[in-house]
Amino acid sequence: MPRVKSSRSTPNKSPIPQGKAGFVRIISGQWKGRKLPVKDLDGLRPTTDRVKETIFNWLAPHVRGTRCLDLFAGSGGLGLEALSRYAEQVTLVEMDKGAADQLKKNLVALGSQQGQVIQADAISWLQGPVTPFDLVFLDPPFRRELLPQVCDLLEQRGWLAPDALIYLEREKEMADLALPASWQLLKDKQAGQVCYQLYLRDTKNDAAV
């Protein structure tokens, strides 16, 4: 897979800005412009179109033909965008039954055979049978301290291909996030109170250490 060129919170914190409720829009690819319904859930925070466009500009040469995991799928905005851009297969993991059911309906509406929706808790699912992925989207609910354990499980249990790309979306105040030594930061941006980053799993560099 080609490489991309490198370029505790408290309840008193200001709320994280929300994405548009009601629908998710696919911004490019075979379903460009399609709007798909989103289940109305407390705390659901779809990635905004502006951030999503930046993410997929970073990933543009690397989505087609990849196996993708959207681990906290929610609205499905990231996983469905990857499918629209000809990912080989996308697994969308979502704990909420209503949101998972809506994702299944949206895949049917798109006529996609390459998407799979799994209703499960992300951490429990990562402790099950393993299939390596080339591209992983991690956009968990904010202020629940999920990322450290999730990242460790992805790395230690073999969920990541040798040169996998990992996208993280997290709250700005999570400044001391410990990540696996093999994850190399490629891109890093901030929009308001949200940080979003792209990492490469560089196992060659890790082995040299």
Query: What pLDDT, on a 0 to 100 scale, did the predictor assign at position 55?
Result: 93
Q: Which residues contact 73 (CB under 8 A, 6 or more apart)?
A: 79, 92, 93, 94, 99, 100, 103, 117
User: Which of 12-16, 36-40, 87-91, 167-171 has the lowest average pLDDT?
Assistant: 12-16
Considering the chain, what percentage of its residues have pLDDT values greater than 70? 83
**Position 132 pLDDT exceeds 70:** yes
Query: What pLDDT, on a 0 to 100 scale, did the predictor assign at position 48?
Result: 80
Q: What is the mean pLDDT of the chain?
A: 85
Q: Does domain 23-201 have CATH number 3.40.50.150?
A: yes
Q: Report which of residues 206 and 49 the model is more confident about.
A: 49
Query: What pLDDT, on a 0 to 100 scale, did the predictor assign at position 44?
Result: 63
User: Which of 45-54, 60-69, 120-129, 194-203 has the lowest average pLDDT?
Assistant: 45-54
pTM of the predicted structure, to 2 decimals: 0.84
Query: What pLDDT, on a 0 to 100 scale, did the predictor assign at position 175?
Result: 64
**Position 200 pLDDT exceeds 60:** yes
Query: What pLDDT, on a 0 to 100 scale, did the predictor assign at position 72?
Result: 94
The mean per-residue pLDDT over the stretch 16-37 comes to 80
d(CA 39, CA 146): 22
Give the domain ranges of the chain.
23-201
**Position 12 pLDDT exceeds 70:** no
